[in-house]
């Protein structure tokens, strides 16, 4: 498949190592590099797999209608092309004992709309159960300063394991360490293998 690329690998590395971004406070840093994180995961997974496992639907307009992909519509960042599973990518920084030992949040911020009635007055809302099939946490385990992006950890958690039992139709807003650990990938190579074998 010939998929148009948003960034080159050099662009992504330059973004992830930009001193202006990397010297920001944690919350600002995370927001600033999120787009580079998504591009890095897509580029590296596809490069290591030797195939287009992850695609950005921004550049595949013929799939927009099938996946209801539009402005502020989807809750996913990449499509796992072999299975058509939708993956939401979240960059998170943690200071837990291990990369997976602290719960991670998955609230999203959206402007008020009919979709979000009765969810939140602040604009922070939970995801609905039908927005994605997996959430991929890209974890920066920063006990002693931020690790290099090549040392990030990952956890690919099925959305089916995240439904809030007290709020049907919605996902929990915090992911338990046990789920993170159960679905962990300690590096990009392990993540690629998991995605190659995803059913």
Question: Residue 110: its pLDDT value, please?
Answer: 54
Q: Between vectors from CA 31 to CA 29 and to CA 32, what angle results, nearest 5°? A: 65
pLDDT at 74: 57
Give how far Cα 176 sits from Cα of 64, 138, 141, 157, 196, Å.
32, 15, 16, 11, 25
> 16 in helix, strand or coil?
helix
Architecture of the CATH domain 9-196: 3-Layer(aba) Sandwich (3.40)
Mean pLDDT of the chain, nearest integer: 88
What is the reported pTM? 0.88
pLDDT of 144: 83
141's tokens: 């385990």
Query: CA-CA distance, 125 to 127, in Å (whole number)?
Result: 7
pLDDT at 142 over 70: yes
d(CA 45, CA 140): 18
**CA–CA gap between residue 124 and residue 110 (Å, rounded):** 7
Q: How far apart are CA 53 and CA 43, in angstroms?
A: 10
The residue to which tokens 């099925």 are assigned: 158
Report the C-alpha gap between 84 and 55 in whole angstroms. Answer: 10
pLDDT in tens, 63-110: 777 776 665 555 789 999 999 999 999 999 999 999 999 999 997 765
Q: Please calculate the CA angle 10-108-180 and round it to the nearest 5 degrees.
A: 75
Annotated domain spans of the chain: 9-196
Percentage of the residues of the chain whose pLDDT score is greater than 90? 73
Which of 18-22, 44-48, 106-110 is the least confident region? 106-110
């Amino acid at each position: 498949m010939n998929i148009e690329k948003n960034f080159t690998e050099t662009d992504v590395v330059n973004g992830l190592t930009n001193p202006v971004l990397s010297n920001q406070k944690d919350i600002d840093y995370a927001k600033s590099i999120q787009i580079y994180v998504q591009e890095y995961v897509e580029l590296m997974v596809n490069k290591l797999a030797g195939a287009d496992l992850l695609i950005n639907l921004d550049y595949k307009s013929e799939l927009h209608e099938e996946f209801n992909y539009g402005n502020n519509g989807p809750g996913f960042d990449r499509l796992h092309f072999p299975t058509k599973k939708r993956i939401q990518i979240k960059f998170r920084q943690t200071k837990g004992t291990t990369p997976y030992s602290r719960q991670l949040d998955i609230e999203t911020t959206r402007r008020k709309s009919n979709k979000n009635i009765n969810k939140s007055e602040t604009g922070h809302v939970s995801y609905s159960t039908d927005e994605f099939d997996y959430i991929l946490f890209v974890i920066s385990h920063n006990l002693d300063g931020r690790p290099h992006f090549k040392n990030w950890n990952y956890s690919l958690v099925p959305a089916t394991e995240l439904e809030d039992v007290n709020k049907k139709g919605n996902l929990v807003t915090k992911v338990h360490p046990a789920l993170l650990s159960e679905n962990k990938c300690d590096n990009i190579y392990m993540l690629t293998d998991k995605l190659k074998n995803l059913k």
